[in-house]
Chain A
Amino acid sequence: MIEEKPSPAVLPEPQIEYEEKELYGLMAEFEEHEELLAATRRAYAEGYRRMDAYSPFPVEGLAEALGNEYSPIPLFTLVGGMIGGLGAYFMEWISMARLYPLNVGGRPHNSWPNFIPITFELTVLLASLSAFLGVFILNRLPHPHHPVFNVPEFERASIDRFFLCIEAEDPKFNLEQTRKFLEGQKAHKVTEVME
């Protein structure tokens, strides 16, 4: 069991000290992923676009509900794999057939069947590497400081709660109306997120 009592070291700093803090957005907390999904769909239908949903596990259809239909990761992977495969074969060909031609067992210099294993391995390696790096590039990670972390309840976003945050930058954002809208979505709680 993990102790529930937070030590003073991690309590949120008293927020009065910062003069120029700005509103980042409004965050609604949900207890079930279906509620979050429904609320997100409704928010999108209402016309909100600058928003993000947070969940402790991937919820199917949530990114689509936010208007994010397409992930370029497969394209990254394809390009990486092609570079890996062609590059590997080129490396083997140029070194074995051009730069340092070596006769091994009377085989031709460009003995392609012998070059397949390394071509395959480097295709997989470069494809995986680009998929992996793609996650970090597209998600802009590492990103240690983010306004959502200023909400103390947000700790549960990685445990058992689901959050929808409508950002203040959204053209449709209006503190009163957005709050009212979120409160109407079975939200457990609605909090203001500060920069």
Chain B
Amino acid sequence: METIQGSEPRMPDPAKPYPVTVLGYPAEMIGPKETYAKVSEQIAGIPLKHPRPMFWFVGFTFAFSLFLMFCVAVTYLVYKGVGIWGINIPVAWGFAITNFVWWIGIGHAGTFISAILLLLYQKWRTTINRFTEAMTLFAVICAGMFPLLHLGRPWVFFWLIPYPDTMSLWPQFRSPLIWDVFAVSTYFLVSLMFWYLGVMPDLATVRDKARTRWKKMVYHISCMGWRGSAVHWKHHQSAYLLLGGLATPLVLSVHSVVSFDFSVAQLPGWHSTIFPPYFVAGAIYSGFAMVLNLLIPIRRIYGLQNIITTRTLNNMACVTLATCWMVVYGYIMEAFTAWYSGDPFEKHMMWDRAFGNYGWIFWGLMLVNCVIPQLLWSRRVRTHDIALFFVALSANLGMWVERFVIVVQSLHNDFVPSSWAMYYPTKWDVMTLLGSLGLFLTLQFLFIRYIPMISISESRELIAQRKEGQL
């Protein structure tokens, strides 16, 4: 039995590839043999040396092809109009808003991990925060496109921004749709600033590791000539913590504002006070699932198991499970409220949701979003990366279907039976959805190729803290 001063005793278990605590849980936040130089070399080596080029080129080509498909779909959309989508009256929102809500939800994990867990002193976040923040940025980019494309005339999107125009018109500030504009753009900008502050010292590491003049120059400019001065660190840390504090209510507000788009409307199935917390929990749920989906393959392919340890995966799986139950609670309360309100329209909506035209989708949703993730109760699933990958995939799919059910099923069957209509997506809907995935993955591939994907300076801090016996 090997012990580290100040930490729990760890029992090496021959059956497990990772060190465990006495309770059998994964013990390490960062591999036991890491030094400052080693983590710097390993992480900064990925952008500099470009290991596993085959994986990268094949993956990037695949992602970029999907992105090109997105470009085709969007070009045709701008040329022809939103009529190429399956939307109609009453289902005016369709895939576009489903995708918007799904993507923005995925973005939430990044800020949750980097801001809320920072304030809660959850040190295991250290090795994954950079990656998830980048994921947030890319997800918000994908999300932001959909409402704009759905405008019908996306080229006049700037009418949403308050500016003193020649027509003396102002946006309608009482509308949740305008709140969305502010919430999403604030979220993107704050995430970008938070991410850049974190990445700046690591770009300096890449600069100092680089061995060609060209690379040195590019990274030197992109890190603004960071030199690691103690006074710089002090201002940097102060701003980083404050941004964490500011991003914490922000991340909770963004999906709340998105949920206002629904809950402020009168529609049965939308007009509900549970929406803001229910949407935020769902957002963090799908976000963690997406982080797991991206991180598990990358961790294996780039051999980062020593830095992103099984303990980190285990913790993420626990958060996923917890948020899964919040979402399940949301489902239960939705049904309960529909019944308890006694409102015939609400009751009809709930009945139609489960047994109506889209009933099979609802039961599929229950399976992938509520039943399959229960596998995470098992520690073996939580620490087995392939199993975890598939559970996370199921949750991701489930959250997309949930948004679909909320948007489409509620709209297609509103108050007046004469206005009821089915919604069927067209190939353009599907192309835009898959294409946005391509955009997301393209950005993700560029990120892992050119920017250190794990925070090197914070990994060093973890090592220093372990040296001092604080971990």
A→B interface (CB under 8 Å): 1-3, 5-7, 9-10, 33, 40, 52-59, 62-63, 65-66, 68, 71, 73-74, 77, 81, 91-92, 95-96, 99-100, 102, 104, 107, 111, 114-115, 117-118, 120-122, 124-125, 127-129, 131-132, 134-136, 138-139, 141-146, 148-149, 154-160
Contacts A128-B193, A142-B225, A149-B227 known; list 17 others, CB within 8 Å: A2-B45, A9-B212, A56-B228, A56-B460, A58-B234, A73-B242, A81-B246, A95-B162, A95-B170, A100-B169, A100-B170, A121-B253, A131-B246, A136-B224, A139-B232, A158-B40, A158-B228
Q: How far is the CB of B51 from chain A (nearest CB, A)?
A: 10
Q: How far is the CB of B132 from chain A (nearest CB, A)?
A: 18
Considering only residues 368-385 of chain B, those with a C-beta below 8 Å from chain A are none
Contact present for A59 and B224 (CB under 8 Å) = no
Contact present for B212 and A2 (CB under 8 Å) = no
A143/B461 contact (C-beta < 8 A), A56-B205, A95-B170, A125-B190 known: no
Q: How far is the CB of A2 from chain B (nearest CB, A)?
A: 5
Instruction: Return the chain B residue nearest A70 by Cβ.
Output: B234
CA distance A92 to B221 in the complex (A): 39
Contact present for A63 and B224 (CB under 8 Å) = no
A71/B41 contact (C-beta < 8 A), A118-B178, A144-B225, A158-B207 known: no
CA distance A120 to B461 in the complex (A): 34
Residue in B35, B169, B201, B213 whose beta carbon sits within 8 Å of that of A160 in the complex: B35
Residues on A with beta carbons closer than 8 Å to the beta carbon of B221: 142, 144
Q: How far is the CB of A31 from chain B (nearest CB, A)?
A: 10
Q: How many residues of B contact A (CB 8 A)?
A: 71
A159/B169 contact (C-beta < 8 A), A71-B235, A128-B189 known: no
The 6 closest A-B pairs by CB, nearest first: A160-B36, A63-B234, A95-B170, A142-B224, A114-B174, A62-B230
Give the contact stretch, choosing among B179-187, B267-275, B304-312: B179-187
Q: How far is the CB of A135 from chain B (nearest CB, A)?
A: 5
CA distance A134 to B243 in the complex (A): 12
Residues 239-261 of chain B, each 1 if its beta carbon lies under 8 Å from chain A, else 0: 10011001101100100010010
From B213, B225, B235, residue with most partner A Cβ within 10 Å:
B235
Contact present for A74 and B242 (CB under 8 Å) = yes
Contact present for B224 and A58 (CB under 8 Å) = no
Contact present for B227 and A7 (CB under 8 Å) = no
A160/B182 contact (C-beta < 8 A), A95-B170, A118-B173, A132-B243 known: no
Residues on A with beta carbons closer than 8 Å to the beta carbon of B48: 2
Q: How far is the CB of A134 from chain B (nearest CB, A)?
A: 6
A-B contact pairs, 8 of them (CB 8 A): A57-B233, A99-B170, A114-B173, A117-B179, A139-B229, A144-B224, A155-B208, A156-B208
Considering only residues 192-237 of chain B, those with a C-beta below 8 Å from chain A are 193-194, 196-197, 201, 204-205, 207-209, 211-213, 216, 220-221, 224-237
Contact present for A9 and B227 (CB under 8 Å) = no
Residues on A with beta carbons closer than 8 Å to the beta carbon of B225: 141-146
